[in-house]
Amino acid sequence: MTPPGPQDVHDALARIKPHIVHTPMLRNARLDAVTGGTILIKPEMLQRTGSFKLRGATNALLKISPDRRAKGVVAYSSGNHAQAIACAAHALKMPATIVMPSDAPAIKREHTAFWGARIVPYDRATEDRIAIAQNIVENTGATLIPPYEHPDVIAGQGTLALELFADAAAAGLALDALIVCTGGGGLIAGCALAAAGVSPGTKIFAAEPAGWDDTARSLRAGRRETNDMRGSPFCDALLTPTPGELTFSINRRLLTAGFAVTDEEVRGAMRFTFEHLKLVAEPGGAVALAALLAQKYDATNRVVGVVLSGGNVNQ
């Protein structure tokens, strides 16, 4: 599978622009005061479906030839990619089947079903979601779109960084660093490609939950590391066993380092988001802000972008 490049991210933005929300760049005086920096927030909970995932899903489905769309699309996801594929498929009048863990948050299951997708539940502790999805593909001829290990998905996710860099430049700002919530690595790979094309001096950092910091450890080791799968399930959107082969081929070249944050640090970031930004962040969507608030990165006198990647959380 050929990795995408910076131009693919630009092409993806032109392709998906009519179908997505250009989420705003937000500033907050309290956040600047607490960190000592100029913090630029990218709030993807304001995206349609409540997370950045619609970007990659829309790009991938738009690149499926019209004659193949009738056979539908299959995806596996704990929720945000599921909703995104379901929404994008609905817009293109494509049948969608989503393989979802039976313990996925109810709000994510409900929103996936809202767009008309068929949900196939599985037990994440005993069943293989990829095998289930592959079996559906073999029986239907549908196209499989994985949540991060796909060049069109990666390119689509990177469009949020292109928007942020453009909005920062319009405000007369250049990012010293960008901190990105990281699971399998698709979002941060796309963001890193975007930066390589328009802001190569920006350092890119992965933020992960403690116990699921496979990207950070892989960057240090120079090879893909695996989680023991015993970490807290709190950040349910980021519970991947190891970085994707495709995503890590990009991230090992373009990322600076990674940070791990505790559940309590994530809860603090969620509270900050609600109290001061007046937004709702899900646990996995708040890990980048958690890393900043926990001073994993010294933002003093620096311009730092922070991705709030989603807001699909139960009450």
Report pLDDT digits (tens) over 283-305. Answer: 999 999 999 999 999 999 999 99
Q: How many angstroms separate the CA atoms of 280 and 296, rounded?
A: 22
Q: How confident is the model at residue 315 (pLDDT cuts 50, 70, 90)?
A: low
Average pLDDT value over all residues in the chain: 96
Q: What is the pLDDT of residue 125?
A: 85
6-52+152-308 is a CATH 3.40.50.1100 domain: yes
Residue 141 exposed, middle or buried by CB count within 10 Å (0-12, 13-18, 19+): exposed
Which residues of the chain are in CATH 3.40.50.1100 domains?
6-52+152-308, 54-150
The terminus-to-terminus CA distance of the chain in angstroms comes to 40
State which fold the 54-150 domain adopts: Rossmann fold (3.40.50)
How do residues 208-254 score in pLDDT, each as one tens digit?
A: 999 999 999 999 999 999 999 999 999 989 999 999 999 999 999 99
How do residues 186-195 score in pLDDT, each as one tens digit?
A: 999 999 999 9
Nearest C-alpha neighbor of 19 from the set 45, 43, 54: 54
What percent of the residues of the chain are helix, what percent strand, and what percent coil, each to the nearest 5? 50, 15, 35
